[in-house]
Amino acid sequence: MSKISKIRPRIRNVLLAGACVLAVAVPAQAQLEQALRVAQSSTAASAAAQKQVERSDDTAETAARDYRAVLQQIDNMKLFVDQQDIYLRGQAGDIEALQRQLGSVEQVKRGMVPMMLLMAAEIERSVEEDMPFKLRERKERLERLKDTLADPSVTPTEQYRQVLAAYKNEVAYGQGMDSYEGAHPNKPGVKVDFLMFGRLSLVYMTKDESELGYFDMASREWKSIDPSNALQVRQAIRIANGEAAPEIVFAPMTGAK
């Protein structure tokens, strides 16, 4: 047998062995790849599960924060309700007090009307018994006051305000010097200058300063003053009218010499 014939069977055996090895190696590689795919899938699943767990933790923490915020809101609302209860109780007390006051309004009104009428009558009496200065002005004010008190459409508050205003006007007449022009006390048509020293003295002087007089409260008559006092009276009139600086002046009075 030749050498070539011997070699050929060996080669065939080697080829067969290699084929067997390849046949065995191919399934092993497939198994490895399958294992790798399973491992990768498992890793992906684990990562997804971890993310799901993290999302669950975040959701739980958010829910806890929301729950605590709701509890805080509930506490705040309870405090607000308690404060409103206190406020409402206070308002209820105020309403009750106002209702009691309203119940007495008519009673007060019934007492005010006669009181105001008496006050108006007292003002009128004081004007009649007072020095006769600015009589027209004062009597017209009294007539307006009477009309107001007789008018049912005027509220008691407004009536009372006008009564007090009339009192204040009368009081103001006695708080300083004043001068005004008017008719001669005994000679109608003759204009004179009147000088008021509060309610202490009422003097008149003719324009030519030839005649002076004062009102005597004791006799309720006008009496003459020596014309030599004309300069002093004129100066007092100028002071009263704001035409001269204030200074000491003398006022003729009942009983004065």
Residue closest to 180 by CA, chosen among 137, 127, 147, 216: 137
Residue 50 counted as domain residue: no
What tokens does 94 get? Answer: 């105020």
* N-terminal to C-terminal alpha carbon distance within the chain: 194
The reply to whether 120 and 162 lie within a common domain is yes
As a whole number, mean pLDDT of residues 192-214 equals: 93
Residue 52 counted as domain residue: no
As a whole number, mean pLDDT of residues 105-112 equals: 71
pLDDT reading at 256 higher than 50: no
As a whole number, mean pLDDT of residues 106-118 equals: 80
Looking at per-residue confidence, does 113 or 38 come out higher?
113
Are 179 and 240 within 8 A, CB to CB?
yes
Are 115 and 160 within 8 A, CB to CB?
no
State what percent of residues in the chain have pLDDT above 70.
Answer: 80
Number of domains composing the chain: 4
The reply to whether 153 and 136 lie within a common domain is yes
Residue 205 counted as domain residue: yes
| Residue 95 belongs to domain spanning | 74-103
DSSP letter assigned to residue 183: E
Residue 220 counted as domain residue: yes
Distance separating alpha carbons of residues 196 and 152, to the nearest angstrom: 38
pLDDT reading at 27 higher than 50: yes
Helix or strand holding residue 178 (H, E): strand 177-183
What tokens does 216 get? Answer: 């005597």
Residue 27 counted as domain residue: yes
Residue 58 counted as domain residue: no
Q: Provide the pLDDT for residue 59.
A: 79
State what percent of residues in the chain have pLDDT above 90.
Answer: 40
Q: Provide the pLDDT for residue 24.
A: 47
DSSP letter assigned to residue 134: S
pLDDT reading at 246 higher than 70: yes
- Would the pTM of this model clear 0.85, i.e. be above it? no
CA of 233: how far to CAs of 25, 205, 210, 213, 257, in Å? 150, 8, 12, 11, 16
Give the torsion sign (CA, 36, 38, 42, 48): positive
What tokens does 190 get? Answer: 């003759």
